[in-house]
Structure 1
Amino acid sequence: MPVFARLTGFSSDLLLVVHNFASVFTLLMIVFYLFNNLSNIIDICQESINEAYFAFKTFGPLPVLITFWKSVFLSVQMLIFWVLMFSCHFYLFIMSDDESNRLFYDEGWLVVILASLGECCTTPVSLFAFCVMISYTSFGVLTLTKFYLQGFEMTPLDFDGSRGWTEGFTMLLIAVQTDLLDLSILQRAFLMSILLFIVVSSLIQSMYEIVDPILLTLSASHNKRWTKHARAIGLCTFLWIFPLFMSYFICQYFDLDFWLMVIISSCLLTSVQVIGSLVVYALFIYDSLRTEPWESLDDVIYWARACTRVVEFLVAVFVVCYGFKESIFGEWSLVNTSILLIHCYFNVWQRLQSGWKSFLLRWKAVKKVESLLLATSEQLENYNDVCSICFQEMKSARITHCKHFFHSVCLRKWLYIKETCPMCHQEICKSNDLGNETANNVDDGDGLNEFENFNDFDFSTDEDQSDIDND
């Protein structure tokens, strides 16, 4: 009744009467129902308490709360509540004759929408409902992104119900940290624009996480359906152009501070990641169009990804330096310092550790592969078989200590995971002298004099091999 009275334009006095009447009537109905069903209610409460105690003891509090959340459709109720509230506020800003409301209307539709969103975040319940709406909207956008890329080939497993809740939680966290509930309507409308930029940047990053594996799968699998490639490339083009447009828009209309620097850095990182994925995609497509396999493809892809990681690291370091500058020479706050430390740990320290470990792993694998003997054309002809890792023809190969042939690139990839032979599971490099021995053989110009004839290779056991070495 109060909602209907508000929508129909009742005066303030009549609205108060309608509200009081609806409250008293609802209270009387509750008391009447409780009086007639008191014994049943007590039994139901006792049974519910026992079931809740057993569930908490058996499954734990978090699964029980999630099950309760889903069983009563609390998120759907919050969504409906917020949509109705937003519709009422939006209607009032447009149709009201109040001077304060007409002031927002005269500024344009965007200001009216921001003011309506701000008015829907005046209480903790309405703020929570707004975050639920953000989650559902993000879930819809991400699901449509998946459908746009895969079409009707989507499986039920692709409908991940956890999608979108990251954006909703981000909105709730930042709104609490910035004291959104205590601001005036004009301040809330201004802050709401910044918060929505943060949510949109997080949403774009989530979209990229969906697009990236699909894009690489299309290129690596040599899929010939050009419509799928066109959709993926078109979406990637949007995902690297739109963040740059957002950054330009922010710099034009807002004064740069720490929060806006975080938004801009996030947008730039997303654009860099998308461009890096497109470069790798183009390399795979170029390799598929070649008549012969591109043996150095792995190296080129590695350096392309390395350049992307370096740019990401430099952007993260720049944000940290800017944050420390603001904390030292500008206005210090506990929230900004906490976010800066978290950003420094996850986006700087962990990126540095991950990049260094990846570099060392690759460097060790390259050294091990280079220490192995390089097969001659005569040995490859006598071997007359494919690489056991990629099952492709070998025009060049490395010979392991256990006398197996592999592509250098394939063997290097294998060494990222294991240090044993894929065929016999022996150690690929048994001693450090192997590299020196190989270098001496090459320098002497004798080639691979130990294995000049493939017939000399015997696939004996470790015990037999040790006897041969002793002889």
Structure 2
Amino acid sequence: MMSLRSKALALVEVLLRVPPLFVVDEFLKISLGLPVSTGEEVPILSPVTTDIDINENEANYYDANFYNAFVFTLLKFFVCCLGCMSALCIFVLYTKHLIIVYLYLMSIGLVFISYWTNVSAIKQIQSLTVAATSAHHSTSILEDILNLNIKNLLDLEGPGILVIQNFAIQFLLAVLFRNVHLGPRNSTIQKLLPMSFMAPSFLAMLPVPPNLLHHSPVFSTLLPLFLAKYVLWSSGYEVAQVIYAGYQHGRLFISHNGLSALVETEWMRLNVPCVLRVFWVMRVAEHAILLLMDNYDDDADEGLKVTALLAVQSLASLAKTLLVTGCETITAVLGMTSVISFFCHYIGNFFQWILLTEEEEDKSIGTVSAILFYILALQTGLTSLNPEKRFIRLCRNFCLLFTALLHFLHNIVNPMLMSLSASRNPSTHRHVRALGVCAFLIMFPISLLAYLWSQHTISTWLLAVSAFSVEVIVKVVVSLMIYSLFLIDANRTTFWEQLDDYVYYIRAFGNTIEFCFGIFLFFNGAWILLFESGGAIRAVMMCIHAYFNIWCEARAGWSVFMKRRTAVNKINSLREASADQLLRLDDVCAICYQEMHSAKITRCNHFFHGMCLRKWLYVQDRCPLCHDILYKIDNKDNNSEAGNEENSNNQNLLLEEEPDLLLNEGVR
């Protein structure tokens, strides 16, 4: 029961933070008050009309209009920015302060609702009274009450029923206002509040001048508005204290833990992903209801029902419209990003369930997908496109996101393949699950490419999706080949010395293909930036791609290649153990503990497998047994032929003392 109560409170807290996002969204819909280009052509004066003289009055008139329009636009922009900042400040408040803000706003809202209902009721009562007077059969409402004339009071076309309805509405509003207002709870004021709300209804029953009755709704709001203003004036110092305390807390937190820790803490406290999801779902539901109501109203004259509407307007077109309107502002894109993150998280959990793994690092698929989708939305200018182009761009972004998810799934299944292939007694069903995921990662990109190339003409976007899809296929094939080699090695009874060479060549091939695709995607992005759709975000992403995926990968690959080549030359310079020496030694390699059918002899007369010694050289340059330097230049011993040969080989090799990469990492 406590758990259910906690969930209910968490849901309420999420719902309390949704309205500020709707406020920000409305301001963004109008572009913060800035003028938006509609694409209409501006008329240009022809050469004939340019010779017409414009008098001074007309010039001043146009200048004044331009100045007034500029000032008005600037004022609208300032008000919209102020509204957005206020909404965001309300969004980050603690729950207790958020409730206070909502109570105050609710009290203001009740006052305005009371005013408009009073105005509407008084107008209708006056119009009915005038009509009855002109018909010479009118009686006042007070006379009907005193005479207990129930028939006239309950007449649906008479003013009596309106007064009774307004009495009930104003009494209900007064009770709500008494309970939610934050002003002083003085007993006299609390008793006067219902009288203040219902005063116009009382006056409507009396024979008062029409002018007084007309202005009575204004006077009825004076007392509740005074309470609301008193609360605003009296709480100004407390508001300033709350703002200053929040500033002090943030400054101290940043000084002790850093800005990223503050953002992460506030992100968790505000439950931002859940709030964004609820906001987007409510926003889409609102658009869906409005869309259905508009279409129903259009078809009402023809006698069509909702079922006929669904027959005319398919669910696919409805979904298309909702997707387009669901990403028309930055806040809407954030909400859609959170929803996509939610689904991608459960997709990752589904594949983890298939693979029977629960690695914490693999659970970040939702976060990675959200970041990728939001970057794609900003990079492609999703919110600035017209509806038709926006839908096309949204579908293309989804395709890119799906291919990125395939890469992430490969990162989940690849370590499992390596661990399964290294185990000697594996469970068969785990192999089948991992291989089934690999089959999906091969078949799905192939099917996607076949569909896209059959339905679309060649374009930069299609080339990018194709490159990502082929890249994931190559990565899966490389993983399967290494998996097969490790399985063969696990079932061998003798040491397979060439295994690491084969693994290196396969990984080098795969990483080279990925590097080539990285260069291709860079040039593809450069073409888009220069000739299709430029932008600062795209340029920044291209620079990041060029540095991390091209330059860093090339430097790391070349470093591993040079270290491997140097290590190979080192090992080749050592003496090869003869069969008699191995027979007399009758021992295992001290690195891998496997029998030695071939071995290398170090300077300190220790025997090791050549491949094991090469791996050891990637870690350090000293003997695993005696810690003597395995390879050093000796200029003093020039009489021995072996010493001369070893010295000449050492002069041709320059190797770092302690390389930090292992052979099994490949050229990455």
TM class, shorter-chain normalised? 0.7 to 0.9
- Pairwise CA distance, 1:104: 11
Residue matched to 2:253: 55
- Pairwise CA distance, 1:310: 2.0
Deviations 1:360-405 (A, max 9, x none): 1111111111111111222222222221111112111111111111
1:187 paired residue among 363, 376, 389: 389
Q: Tell me the matched-pair count.
A: 417
- Pairwise CA distance, 1:284: 0.7
Residue matched to 2:327: 121
- Pairwise CA distance, 1:192: 1.0
| 8 Å contact kept, 2:634–2:643 | no
What letter is aligned with 2:275? Q
Residue matched to 1:8: none
SS of the equivalent of 1:164 reads helix
Residue matched to 1:211: 413
Q: Distance in 2 between matches of 1:89 and 1:300?
A: 59
Considering only CA atoms, is the larger Rg found in Structure 1 or Structure 2? Answer: 2
Residue matched to 2:275: 77
| Bigger shift: residues 104-113 or 187-196 | 104-113
Residue matched to 1:138: 344
| 8 Å contact kept, 2:327–2:333 | yes
Distance 1:241 1:90, change over 3 A: farther
Distance 1:78 1:320, change over 3 A: closer
SS of the equivalent of 1:202 reads helix
Alignment of 1:156-167 (within 5 A): 158=360, 162-167=364-369
| 8 Å contact kept, 1:265–1:315 | yes
Residue matched to 2:626: 424
Deviations 1:289-312 (A, max 9, x none): 223232211111111111112222
Distance 1:356 1:88, change over 3 A: same
Residue matched to 1:344: 546
Q: CA RMSD in A?
A: 3.8
| 8 Å contact kept, 1:243–1:267 | yes
Distance 1:168 1:46, change over 3 A: same
What letter is aligned with 1:181? T
SS of the equivalent of 1:97 reads helix
Distance 1:203 1:364, change over 3 A: same
Q: Distance in 2 between matches of 1:198 and 1:302?
A: 30
Q: Are residue 240 (structure 1) and residue 432 (structure 2) matched?
A: no
Q: Are residue 291 (structure 1) and residue 493 (structure 2) matched?
A: yes
Q: Distance in 2 between matches of 1:364 and 1:436?
A: 23
Residue matched to 2:109: 24
Q: Distance in 1 between matches of 2:619 and 2:112?
A: 68
| Bigger shift: residues 398-407 or 32-41 | 32-41
Distance 1:255 1:363, change over 3 A: same
Q: Distance in 2 between matches of 1:26 and 1:424?
A: 90
| Bigger shift: residues 315-324 or 92-101 | 92-101
Deviations 1:166-215 (A, max 9, x none): 22112112212322222233222211100111111121111111111111
Q: Distance in 1 between matches of 2:338 and 2:244?
A: 32
Q: Distance in 2 between matches of 1:94 and 1:436?
A: 94
| 8 Å contact kept, 2:362–2:412 | no
Alignment of 1:229-268 (within 5 A): 229-268=431-470
Residue matched to 2:129: none
| 8 Å contact kept, 1:134–1:168 | yes
Q: Distance in 2 between matches of 1:405 and 1:199?
A: 53
Q: Are residue 333 (structure 1) and residue 534 (structure 2) matched?
A: yes
Distance 1:194 1:116, change over 3 A: same
Distance 1:223 1:287, change over 3 A: same
SS of the equivalent of 2:419 reads helix
SS of the equivalent of 2:424 reads coil
User: Structure 2 stretches of 5 or more lacking a match?
Assistant: 1-105, 114-175, 185-230, 300-305, 647-668
Percent of matched pairs sharing the same residue: 28
Residue matched to 1:303: 505
| Bigger shift: residues 114-123 or 36-45 | 36-45
Distance 1:344 1:124, change over 3 A: closer
Q: Distance in 2 between matches of 1:317 and 1:159?
A: 28
Q: Distance in 2 between matches of 1:66 and 1:246?
A: 37
What letter is aligned with 1:137? F
| Bigger shift: residues 336-345 or 165-174 | 336-345
| Bigger shift: residues 331-340 or 314-323 | 331-340
- Pairwise CA distance, 1:111: 5.3
Q: Distance in 1 between matches of 2:287 and 2:609?
A: 67
Distance 1:113 1:397, change over 3 A: farther
- Pairwise CA distance, 1:78: 1.3
